[in-house]
């Protein structure tokens, strides 16, 4: 019989992982998003280099003004100051209160650095390996175990096909839901975001239903 950690130890570990990732990267924790970015690492590196050029918001503002002037003419970049009847040039009159400063910095709106998401995926792999070795259950095998063979199939080719189709469906589902169980369940629910609460309820509700069908019906 497989022995697992106590539920409170697993919950504490997940909480510490999520909080540590948010504190060190100032971004939300999510495995599916990290995996997608690592798969497209070349394009992501190009985007990061481009973003680094405009890390300073003043540089970004100047670049936008220059592009606007180039596209629509110099007169559209910024309103010119008009002289008053007394001949002194003053700033143009503004109606209403000045715009509020943005609460978020430009850096916090960008994705997490690619290297941090590579480290995240490697840590998941290494952590699982360390847990299996320390528990004395590490074993290299090409199937999913006896339980999978009894419930789904024990034929190697059919097993690979089932895993491939399942992986495609999981990828499609995470794209459709805008995140995976780690992104919605750990981060979104922790921040009380309604969309994440609904998504997580659907994740686990579907899992419970399918498990019931496999064990009790099929």
Which of 29-33, 149-153, 197-201 is most confident? 197-201
pLDDT for residue 146 is more than 50:
yes
Give the span between the Cα atoms of 183 and 29, in whole angstroms. 6
pLDDT in tens, 162-172: 888 988 888 88
Q: Is 50 exceeded by the pLDDT of residue 102?
A: no
Going by pLDDT thresholds of 50, 70 and 90, the confidence category of residue 214 is: confident
Name the pLDDT band for 201 (thresholds 50, 70, 90): very high
pLDDT in tens, 19-31: 888 888 777 788 8
- Checking if the pLDDT of 148 tops 80, the result is no
The answer for residues whose C-beta is within 8 angstroms of residue 19's C-beta and 6 or more apart is none
pLDDT of residue 108: 59
Give the span between the Cα atoms of 92 and 80, in whole angstroms. 8
Q: Is 189 within 8 Å of 197 (Cβ atoms)?
A: yes
Confidence of residue 150 (pLDDT cuts 50, 70, 90): confident
The DSSP secondary-structure symbol of 74 reads G
> Would you place residue 152 in the very low, low, confident or very high pLDDT band (cuts 50, 70, 90)?
confident
Contact 185, 205 (CB under 8 A): no
pLDDT value of residue 138: 84
Tens digits of residue pLDDT in 36-92: 888 888 888 888 887 777 666 676 677 778 878 877 776 554 554 455 455 454 544
């Amino acid at each position: 019989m497989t022995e697992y950690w106590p539920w409170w130890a697993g919950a504490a570990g997940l909480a510490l992982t999520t909080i540590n990732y948010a504190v060190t990267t100032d971004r939300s924790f999510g495995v599916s998003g990290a995996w997608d970015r690592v798969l497209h690492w070349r394009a992501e590196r190009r985007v990061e280099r481009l973003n680094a050029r405009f890390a300073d918001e003043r540089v970004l503002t100047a670049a936008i003004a220059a592009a606007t002037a180039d596209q629509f003419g110099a007169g559209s970049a910024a309103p010119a100051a008009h002289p008053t009847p007394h001949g002194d040039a003053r700033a143009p009159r503004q109606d209403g209160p000045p715009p509020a400063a943005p609460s978020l910095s430009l850096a916090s709106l960008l994705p997490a650095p690619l290297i941090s998401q590579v480290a995240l995926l490697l840590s998941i792999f290494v952590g699982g390996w360390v847990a299996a070795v320390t528990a004395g259950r590490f074993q290299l095998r090409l199937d999913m175990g006896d339980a999978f063979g009894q419930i789904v199939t024990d034929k190697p080719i059919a097993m690979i096909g089932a895993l491939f189709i399942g992986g495609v469906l999981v990828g499609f589902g995470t794209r459709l839901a805008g995140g995976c169980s780690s992104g919605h369940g750990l981060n979104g629910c922790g921040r009380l975001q309604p969309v994440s609460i609904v998504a997580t309820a659907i994740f686990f509700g579907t899992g419970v239903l399918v498990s019931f069908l496999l064990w009790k019906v099929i």
